[in-house]
């Protein structure tokens, strides 16, 4: 006959869901090394993605640490793109997919690598409606020139058009 195990003798089942500095540090280090959060969650001894997401929502400091570690990890991923590009054993089509995927993620996770430029505008913008009927001929010409410069290219011509304004 098998004796019933005491609570302290039982094996712990499932993933860790109790937040600890030890787990936080392990997650942060792995993110800094370019390992994705989903890959970290798949590792033995790591909490599930849902658990980390819950911690992220409940603890702003943890969320900030994750975001910072992810930005650092993008530098690793950028280096990995170079390694992939230099590896002659990888099929060129597969290589292109691997690099493109990493570059897209890097651009989203780190503004340093992004194609988008961020411009911060400070101050107050006071916009008043213009009564075109009160403008003289020269003012109307100036307004038309400004609108022409702001116009987006049209699909047909590739040039700006104010016809839709």
Q: Which residue has the higher pLDDT, 92 or 153?
A: 92
CB 105 within 8 A of CB 95: no
Residue 79 has pLDDT above 70, yes or no: yes
- Tell me the per-residue pLDDT of 53-71, one tens digit each, with 9 for 90 and over: 999 999 999 999 999 999 9
CB 57 within 8 A of CB 67: no
pLDDT of residue 9: 56
158 pLDDT band, cuts 50/70/90, is low
Domains of the chain: 15-113 (1.10.10.60)
> 153 pairs with which residues across the strands?
160
pLDDT of residue 126: 79
What is the maximum span of the chain, computed from C-alpha positions, in angstroms? Answer: 104
The tokens for 16 are 């860790």
- Tell me the per-residue pLDDT of 107-122, one tens digit each, with 9 for 90 and over: 888 877 777 666 777 8
- Tell me the per-residue pLDDT of 6-47, one tens digit each, with 9 for 90 and over: 655 555 555 557 889 999 999 999 999 999 999 999 999 899
């Amino acid at each position: 006959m098998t004796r019933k195990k005491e609570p302290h003798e039982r094996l712990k089942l499932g993933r860790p869901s109790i937040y600890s500095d030890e787990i936080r540090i392990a997650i942060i280090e792995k993110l800094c090394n370019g390992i994705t959060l989903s890959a970290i969650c798949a590792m033995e001894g790591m909490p599930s993605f849902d658990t980390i997401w819950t911690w992220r929502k409940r603890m702003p400091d943890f969320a900030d640490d994750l975001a910072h570690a992810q930005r650092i990890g993008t530098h690793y991923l950028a280096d990995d793109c170079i390694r992939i590009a230099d590896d002659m054993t990888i099929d060129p089509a597969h290589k292109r997919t691997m690099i493109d995927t990493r570059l897209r993620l890097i651009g989203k996770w780190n503004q340093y690598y992004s194609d988008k430029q961020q411009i911060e505008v400070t101050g107050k913008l006071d916009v008043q409606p213009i009564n075109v009927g009160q403008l003289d001929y020269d003012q109307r010409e100036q307004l038309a020139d400004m609108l022409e410069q702001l116009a987006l290219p049209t699909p047909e011509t590739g040039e700006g058009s104010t016809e839709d304004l």
